[in-house]
Amino acid sequence: MKIGIDKIGFYAPHLYVDMIELAEKRGVDPDKFTIGIGQDKMAVAPITQDAVTMAANAASDILDDADKQAIDFVIFGTETGVDSSKSAAVYVHELLGLNPYARAIEVKQACYGATAGIQMAKAHIAMNTDSKVLVLGSDIARYGLHTSGEATQGAGAVALLISADPHIMALEDQSVYFTADVMDFWRPVYSDKAFADGKLSNEQYIAFFSKVWEQYKAKSGLGFEDFEAMTFHLPYTKMGKKALNPVLDETTEDVQERLKSNYQISTGYNRNVGNIYTGSLYLSLLSLLEQKDDLQASARIGMFSYGSGAVGEFFTGILQNDYRNYLCIKQHSALFASRREVTVEEYEAIFEETLPTDGARVELDVKNDPAEICLAGVTAHKRQYVNKSNG
């Protein structure tokens, strides 16, 4: 039985800062951000968006009533959740009106959480063939103003509907995963900003890719020539290239050219959104599928997931017949077209805005946020969400 990705939804907040403007304000050569790091725009989450609302907005676009009845498992990968006890999945389950006979959990391992969710979903569907699983990856990446990580921030969510006989991609069974205790990036519970050892994190990412790729080749007997494209977790768009290029010389020049060119296409959306942590690999997959219109069904796509700390996994999928008919290309290009640029000063003010932590009541102005699902306020330490389409 084939199991895999039936639908993919994506959401990014309606605000962004231009990386050239940010570079100028920080006294940095703009080429460092646009070429050295490979980012053009960075999504900025207003206070009315958090991991919950972004995930719910990404999913609400793709689910019909039959999906909402069939989903019996919601798995929410995030490292910027809103509660240490209650899972973000429970909020999304309510906001979307899903079947109450469902499991709803949150999964954490830095940017790897949604990949863990997909593998759990696959096992669940193998045992419950009529069910569907909603896997969410949603995060706001924050390192702090004037930090070296600042240019690699971002915000957004990806929603994946996992089912039997999927319309977009069947996941193959061969998969290689690797864990090692590394302090390359972390966020202590008392901090709302991540800490990173930038150089170590780059080195570990590259080393993890090399380890899982070597093991994958040994296990599967496949090599680069068997792949139409390789997609990567993209903390910034140059990162995947730094891992891929050093090992590409094991294949022919034609294959190298194909993989390099498809890598470039797979970075398109990420270049304009920034790091969205758990959703980042799937945003890259979406860029490839939606922006390369001659990608053939039956093509094999490689996916490298990396979550600092660290866990890495390489796994693969095969594109299904007519997969393009099941993508939301028009909605996603409308989402990008409708975003609004903010100045660096506005971005800084949004970055510093916080919610009360003393139980005070606050009502937020959701009229200024065009998203369907927003955070409307906080009352007695409880977040109040609104789905505007429910009236």
Using CA atoms, how far apart are residues 44 and 344, in angstroms rounded to an integer?
Answer: 11
Map residues 227-246 to x or -, x wherever contact with ligand HMG holds by CB under 6 A: ------x-xx-xx-------
Among 14, 79, 93, 106, the one annotated catalytic: 79
Using CA atoms, how far apart are residues 90 and 73, in angstroms rounded to an integer?
Answer: 10
Q: Kindly determine how many residues on this chain lie close enough to bind ligand HMG according to the rule CB under 6 A.
A: 30
Q: Confirm or deny that 143 is annotated as ligand binding.
A: yes
Which helix (DSSP H) or strand (DSSP E) does residue 82 occupy?
A: none
Is residue 7 within 8 Å of residue 133, measured between CB atoms? no
Is position 111 annotated as part of the catalytic site? yes
Using CA atoms, how far apart are residues 33 and 128, in angstroms rounded to an integer?
Answer: 46
Is position 21 annotated as part of the catalytic site? no
Using CA atoms, how far apart are residues 198 and 139, in angstroms rounded to an integer?
Answer: 19
Contact flag: residue 78 with ligand HMG (CB under 6 A) = no
Is position 233 annotated as part of the catalytic site? yes
Amino acid present at 50: D
Is residue 271 within 8 Å of residue 38, measured between CB atoms? yes
Contact flag: residue 270 with ligand HMG (CB under 6 A) = no
Contact range with ligand HMG by CB under 6 A, out of 30-38, 54-62, 82-90, 325-333? 30-38
Contact flag: residue 31 with ligand HMG (CB under 6 A) = yes
Return the number of other C-beta atoms located less than 10 Å from residue 181's C-beta: 6
Q: Please name which of 14, 45, 24, 19 lies closest in space to residue 271, comparing C-alpha atoms.
A: 19
DSSP 255: H
Nearest approach, Cβ of residue 350 and ligand HMG (Å)? 20
Is residue 197 within 8 Å of residue 183, measured between CB atoms? yes
Between 29 and 225, CB nearer to ligand HMG = 29
Nearest approach, Cβ of residue 386 and ligand HMG (Å)? 29
Among 93, 124, 233, 332, the one annotated catalytic: 233
Using CA atoms, how far apart are residues 80 and 139, in angstroms rounded to an integer?
Answer: 5
Contact range with ligand HMG by CB under 6 A, out of 59-67, 167-175, 195-203, 314-322? 195-203
Contact range with ligand HMG by CB under 6 A, out of 17-25, 80-88, 121-129, 194-202? 194-202
Contact range with ligand HMG by CB under 6 A, out of 1-9, 24-32, 216-224, 342-350? 24-32
Contact flag: residue 308 with ligand HMG (CB under 6 A) = yes
Using CA atoms, how far apart are residues 115 and 207, in angstroms rounded to an integer?
Answer: 19
Contact flag: residue 307 with ligand HMG (CB under 6 A) = yes
Nearest approach, Cβ of residue 198 and ligand HMG (Å)? 3
DSSP 153: -
What is the b/e burial string over 364-383, where b = at least 16 CB atoms within 10 angstroms of the residue's CB? bebeebebbbbbbbbeeeeb
Among 2, 24, 26, 36, binds ligand HMG (CB under 6 A): 36
CA-only gyration radius of the chain, Å? 20
DSSP 209: H
Among 17, 196, 283, 375, binds ligand HMG (CB under 6 A): 196
Q: Which residues belong to the annotated binding site for (3S)-3-hydroxy-3-methylglutaryl-CoA?
A: 29, 143, 242, 275
- Residues within the interface to ligand HMG (CB under 6 A): 29, 31-32, 35-37, 79, 110-111, 148-149, 151-152, 184-185, 196, 198, 201-202, 205, 233, 235-236, 238-239, 275, 277, 306-308
Q: What residues are annotated to the active site?
A: 79, 111, 233
